């Protein structure tokens, strides 16, 4: 028989659970920077495992020296990027040192006017459309100082974040066996073998995935750089790097990269004639970027990703598409690693299922 005491106890337990969950979420929100450090350190750890094993097996380093050598390689790579980009960023900073937002706005309006005149010569009444939309009056570049201040604030905390990430990565690599030993004590004996096998396979597959992702981004970066150098676009390294990084977002990232490259190409040639120089150069750059995307989507990306996580290219495409519909851009970014983890766990815990056998036959 359900009494008022039982009902009140149930309500109190539910309220207590809600309060604890709210406190936990608030706590996680407050330490979100630490969580980001841990995630980045974990990714670096997965990338660093093959390098660590190489030093141990090939050069006979002990675990500590192999870990130091691996972290040192990360430092060299990060330092190389900093040395490469700092002068270019400073150069752009000098160009905007006075934060002359009115001049930037004037240049953008000039570009819009050139596009409008060109369209009118081709019997497209774009001026009327732009007047009705009141686009020119809505252009406001006063956000640029705030944006640059935000970038400076991010750069100021970059040093501490980088040190924290490398420090965590060092111990993730060095004490991985200790972590595994501790995990053994916490895992129930009935599922110990399955869980440990899952961890080992996940570690192997995700290490290959992130290394493959870096290789894919590097290939795209080189191809973008070649195109920008051919057409003499200013600051090609920075633009190529930014556009390559956007490829982390499947399918949407390359589109954003193409739009960014087109806008920067137009602004770089602003003093030239629109029809004879600006438009052809922009079209050529866009065609070059689309060719790179064809190469990336049909050659490098399917081969690298399908080999690294042992999944069919169509399978990866569908997983990314579904994750994008369900969770947006973030879902598209984490779709492949999360799907790989779920496949490994499913194979260990449900090996008799025919669907699982079909999906995990290559793992």
pLDDT at 168: 92
- Reply yes or no on whether the pLDDT at 95 is more than 60: no
- Number of structural domains the chain divides into: 1
pLDDT at 68: 94
- Reply yes or no on whether the pLDDT at 310 is more than 80: no
CA–CA gap between residue 344 and residue 202 (Å, rounded):
7
- Reply yes or no on whether the pLDDT at 71 is more than 90: yes
pLDDT at 99: 41
- Least confidently predicted of 62-76, 139-153, 198-212: 139-153
CA–CA gap between residue 46 and residue 342 (Å, rounded):
17
User: SS3 of 345, please?
Assistant: helix
User: Averaged over 285-308, what is the pLDDT?
Assistant: 81
Establish if 345 belongs to a structural domain.
Answer: yes
pLDDT at 141: 47
Establish if 126 belongs to a structural domain.
Answer: no
Establish if 45 belongs to a structural domain.
Answer: no
Q: Band the pLDDT of 46: cuts 50, 70, 90.
A: confident
Is residue 2 left, alpha or beta, with left meaning phi > 0 and alpha meaning psi from -120 to 50? beta
pLDDT digits (tens, 9 = 90+) for 128-149: 555 555 544 544 545 445 544 5
Higher pLDDT, 308 or 273: 308
pTM: predicted TM-score of the whole model, two decimal places? 0.70
- Which residue segment(s) compose the domain that 319 sits in? 188-363
Establish if 248 belongs to a structural domain.
Answer: yes
User: Averaged over 195-210, what is the pLDDT?
Assistant: 83
- Least confidently predicted of 13-17, 87-91, 218-222, 343-347: 87-91
pLDDT digits (tens, 9 = 90+) for 233-288: 887 887 888 888 888 887 788 888 898 888 888 877 766 666 677 778 888 999 99
CA–CA gap between residue 273 and residue 297 (Å, rounded):
34
Angle at 74 between CA 73 and CA 75, to 5 degrees: 90
pLDDT at 171: 93
Q: Band the pLDDT of 200: cuts 50, 70, 90.
A: confident
Establish if 173 belongs to a structural domain.
Answer: no
Q: Band the pLDDT of 65: cuts 50, 70, 90.
A: very high
- Reply yes or no on whether the pLDDT at 162 is more than 80: yes
CA–CA gap between residue 110 and residue 104 (Å, rounded):
10
pLDDT at 98: 39
DSSP string, 146-198: HHHHHHHHHHHHHHHHHHHHHHHHHHHHHTHHHHHHHHHHHS-GGGHHHHHHH
Establish if 120 belongs to a structural domain.
Answer: no
CA–CA gap between residue 177 and residue 172 (Å, rounded):
9
pLDDT at 224: 93
- Reply yes or no on whether the pLDDT at 226 is more than 60: yes
The percentage of the chain sitting over the pLDDT mark of 90, rounded to a whole number, equals: 12
Q: Band the pLDDT of 14: cuts 50, 70, 90.
A: confident
Establish if 181 belongs to a structural domain.
Answer: no
CA–CA gap between residue 37 and residue 167 (Å, rounded):
10
Residues with Cβ < 8 Å from 292, sequence gap 6 or more?
220, 223, 224, 227
pLDDT at 288: 92
Establish if 13 belongs to a structural domain.
Answer: no
Q: Band the pLDDT of 123: cuts 50, 70, 90.
A: low
Q: Of the candidates 170, 179, 168, which has an alpha carbon nearest to the alpha carbon of residue 203?
A: 179
């Amino acid at each position: 028989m359900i009494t008022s005491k039982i009902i009140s106890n149930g309500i109190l337990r539910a309220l207590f659970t809600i309060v604890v969950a709210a406190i936990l979420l608030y706590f996680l929100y407050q330490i979100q920077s630490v969580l980001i450090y841990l995630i980045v350190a974990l990714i670096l750890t997965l990338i660093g495992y093959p390098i660590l094993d190489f030093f141990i097996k090939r050069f006979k380093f002990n675990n500590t020296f192999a870990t130091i050598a691996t972290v040192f390689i990360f430092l060299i790579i990060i330092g190389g990027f900093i040395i490469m980009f700092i002068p270019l960023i400073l150069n752009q900073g000098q160009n905007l040192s006075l934060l002359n937002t009115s001049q930037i706005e004037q240049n953008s309006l000039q570009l819009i006017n050139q596009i409008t005149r060109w369209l009118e010569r081709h019997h497209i009444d774009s001026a009327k459309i732009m007047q009705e939309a009141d686009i020119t009056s809505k252009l406001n570049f006063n956000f640029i100082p705030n944006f640059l201040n935000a970038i400076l604030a991010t750069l100021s905390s970059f040093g501490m974040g980088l040190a924290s990430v490398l420090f965590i990565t060092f111990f993730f690599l060095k004490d991985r066996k200790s972590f595994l030993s501790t995990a053994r004590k916490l895992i129930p004996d009935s599922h110990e073998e399955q869980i440990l096998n899952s961890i080992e396979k996940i570690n192997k597959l995700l290490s290959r995935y992130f290394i493959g992702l870096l290789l894919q981004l590097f290939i795209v970066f080189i191809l973008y750089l070649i195109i920008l150098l051919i057409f003499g676009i200013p600051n090609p390294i920075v633009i190529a790097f930014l556009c390559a990084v956007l490829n982390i977002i499947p399918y949407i990232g390359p589109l954003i990269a193409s739009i960014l490259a087109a806008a920067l190409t137009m602004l770089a040639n602003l003093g030239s004639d629109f029809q004879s120089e600006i438009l052809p150069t922009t079209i050529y750059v866009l065609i070059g970027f689309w060719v790179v995307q064809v190469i990336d989507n049909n050659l490098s990306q399917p081969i690298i990703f399908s080999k690294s996580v042992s999944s069919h290219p169509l399978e990866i495409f569908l997983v990314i598409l579904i994750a994008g519909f369900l969770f947006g851009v973030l879902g598209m970014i984490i779709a492949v690693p999360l799907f790989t983890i779920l496949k490994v766990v499913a194979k260990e815990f449900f090996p008799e299922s025919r669907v699982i056998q079909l999906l995990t036959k290559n793992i």
